[in-house]
Amino acid sequence: MTDDHDDNAPPVIAIDGPTASGKGTIAQRVADAFGWHYLDSGALYRIAALRALRAGTPLDDEEALAALARALAPQFAQGRILVDGQDVADAIRAEAVGSAASRIAVHPALRAALVDLQRSFRRPPGLVADGRDMGTAIFPDASLKVFLTASAESRAIRRHKQLIEKGFSANLTDLLLDLRERDARDMQRASAPLKPAQGALLLDSTDLTIEQTVEAVLDAYRRRTES
Ligand code: DC
């Protein structure tokens, strides 16, 4: 694991923020606009959580979780996520899996086990990475760091819509409660807590459309790299 800046390393845009802040959509669109790679780091935590749930691994067994995470070799292709030949792209979006992901993410050994896998996504011509600690821990030399937020209520409404569209049942009040709980856990954990990286662009998307939010990120990147 190294944090040293390498001038030849492909550029990274790091987009961090709380659950359901729209990071995934925004990051994917920014990656598409530049023709860059995209890393959904939350998906890796969710894959680890899904495996743990299916294997019956206790969510507080740090060493067993780290071993399970070290063995992960997921393949991302055209919206599918293959783990051991099985597509888990939909299964990892279930609320129970997101909640378990947030629980296992508090363990430093589990987080350390996922570092190299996350950094392996940094390939030419560039990478847009979204998560909680992309700018603070995984890619501290990112060219642009964005901290994307939105009010808890608007995030709950967005998550509700997403889940219904995917065919999951969902209750708005429960989602809001769960989202506040998850925010608190992600922000208060000792290991790589969710917080804006130094120098991050703070972007509140509550009253912005997806297009406006994407444009704000593209604009900020152009300004930072031109100066
Ligand atoms: O972004 P998401 O909702 O898919 O992430 C699920 C959980 O994974 C989140 O609650 C905390 C954890 N996570 C993390 O700790 N660090 C990351 N870089 C990404 C996700």
d(CA 191, CA 155): 24
CB 188 within 8 A of CB 106: no
- Number of structural domains found in the chain: 1
Ligand 1 center–CA 43 separation, angstroms: 7
pLDDT in tens, 145-156: 999 999 999 999
Residue numbers of the domain that contains 171:
12-226
Dihedral sign (CA 147, 153, 181, 63) = negative
Q: What's the confidence (pLDDT) of residue 73?
A: 94
pLDDT in tens, 38-95: 999 999 999 999 999 999 999 999 999 999 999 999 999 888 999 989 999 999 998 8
Give a yes or no: residue 196 inside a domain: yes
pTM of the model: 0.92
Give a yes or no: residue 5 inside a domain: no
CATH of the domain at 125: 3.40.50.300
pLDDT band (50, 70, 90) for residue 33 = very high
Give a yes or no: residue 2 inside a domain: no
pLDDT band (50, 70, 90) for residue 140 = very high
| Best residue for ligand 1 mutational test, from 25, 26, 45 (most atoms within 8 Å of Cβ) | 45
Q: Which residue's CA is minimally distant from atom 3 of ligand 1?
A: 19
Question: Edge-to-edge, what's the strand order for the sheet holding 144-149?
Answer: 37-40, 127-131, 12-16, 144-149, 201-204
Burial of 128 (0-12, 13-18, 19+ CB in 10 A): buried
